[in-house]
Structure 1
Amino acid sequence: MTASDSARTLRGRLILIALFVLFFGSALGAGLLRFSGWMPAGLKNHGELLDPPVDLRVRPPQLADGQAYAWNPESRTWRILAVVPAAECGAECPEVLERLDKVWRLFGHNADQVEILWLGATPEGADAMPALRALREDAGLRAALPRSVDPAGVPLYVVDPHGFVILRYAPHADPVGLRADVAKLLKLR
């Protein structure tokens, strides 16, 4: 075997080893990232994912006028549910309503695919918000929602088109995160 043959053999082996390390090394790195719990920032949600989701179809809410609220999944309408305290809400309710109105308006042409459900007494100015659906007080609905009674304020929930509550936002959560999460969900068709 000549020196050029052994050099070619060595070069071929090094290329083979490099390909092996490149393939299996990247697979090993991906596995380590996956099992360590790391996720890309674009895939993380800002709200708390409810596992298992709460099924509101079991106990459908009623609108404030007494009519049953229809889920109508064919319309692909997502809902943001605000659960205000059963007692007086105070100054926080108009602020929450204003933030939700701003979030709803930021959806632009997709705003018709989002409704705001309001469980509890509606504050002044609620009539001016076209997407707001006031719900009749329902202790069973409050009990079905995880941590709906929060001393820190008004929690928000995201409800899918079929009536499943999938995300919870703590009181005073950043509305930008809520908007970003719902915007991602609106893209799912």
Structure 2
Amino acid sequence: MNSDPRLSTSPDPSQVRRGRLILVLIFLLFFGTIAAAGILRFSGWQPQGTKVHGEMLRPAVDARAVVPKLASGGNYAWQPAERMWRIAVAPPASCAAVCTQLARDLDVVWQLFGNKADHVEILWIGTLPAGAPATAARRVLQPTPELMRALPRVDDPAGIPVYVIDPNGFVILRYAPGTDPGFIRTDVAKLLKLI
């Protein structure tokens, strides 16, 4: 008789249980992570680095066909090849002190972009307040009906919303009136990393 245990035809019951346990653990690890990811995805959770402070417009408003008019005359072109992001505001004509403060806040936001500031413009749609700081990044546009329609809920009774427009001319973010300018800076800084 051959007494070598390696040639035995019946497996050891403890090894069978151990093998099954390992297989079940691998199954749970694989499908459990997929199930957990699905639960997090459909519950609306997002990693901190992908969250934005503004309202993501879904779908984004396509303003590519709109040809904004500069207040000084002529057209403002989107020019996607320049990879220019825009922060846009369209305050009411009766805006005074609030508009002056908003113009100052947006100027500070623009300055904080540092070497990336060359890729951001501020679009001021309407009359610029008298106390607004002078900045090379600001373009004053006429409030044409086509342009105003491209800005969702622009006539917010709570105040002046702020928008972010991508280099192609899509309005992608809306900030509620009174939003901390630091939040706008944080979100646009993330977008600037894409260029």
TM-score (norm 1): 0.92
What is aligned with 1:32? Answer: 39
What is aligned with 2:3? Answer: none
Q: Distance in 2 between matches of 1:143 and 1:18?
A: 56
Q: Distance in 1 between matches of 2:63 and 2:122?
A: 15
- Greater CA deviation, 141-150 or 167-176? 141-150
**AA at the equivalent of 1:164:** F
Stretches of structure 1 that go unaligned for 5 or more consecutive residues are none
**AA at the equivalent of 1:147:** R
In the TM superposition, residue 144 of structure 1 has moved relative to its aligned partner by 3.0
Q: Distance in 2 between matches of 1:57 and 1:17?
A: 54
CA offset digits 1:55-113 (Å, max 9, x no partner): 2222211111111001111110000001111x220210011011101111111110000
What is aligned with 2:4? Answer: none
What is aligned with 1:67? Answer: 74
Fraction of identical pairs, as percent: 56
Structure 1 segments (4+ residues) deviating >3 Å: none
CA offset digits 1:18-38 (Å, max 9, x no partner): 111111111111111112222
Q: Does 1:188 align with 2:157?
A: no
Q: Distance in 1 between matches of 2:192 and 2:31?
A: 37
Residue number among 94, 103, 107 corresponding to 1:97 in the alignment? 103
TM-score (norm 2): 0.89
**AA at the equivalent of 2:31:** F
What is aligned with 2:170? Answer: 164
Instruction: Indicate the RMSD between aligned Cα atoms, in angstroms.
Output: 1.9
Stretches of structure 2 that go unaligned for 5 or more consecutive residues are 1-7
Contact 2:104 2:133 in 1 (8 A): no
Q: Larger helix proportion, structure 1 or 2?
A: 1
Q: Distance in 2 between matches of 1:51 and 1:13?
A: 47
Rg bigger for which structure?
2
CA offset digits 1:126-159 (Å, max 9, x no partner): 4521211111232332233211111221111101
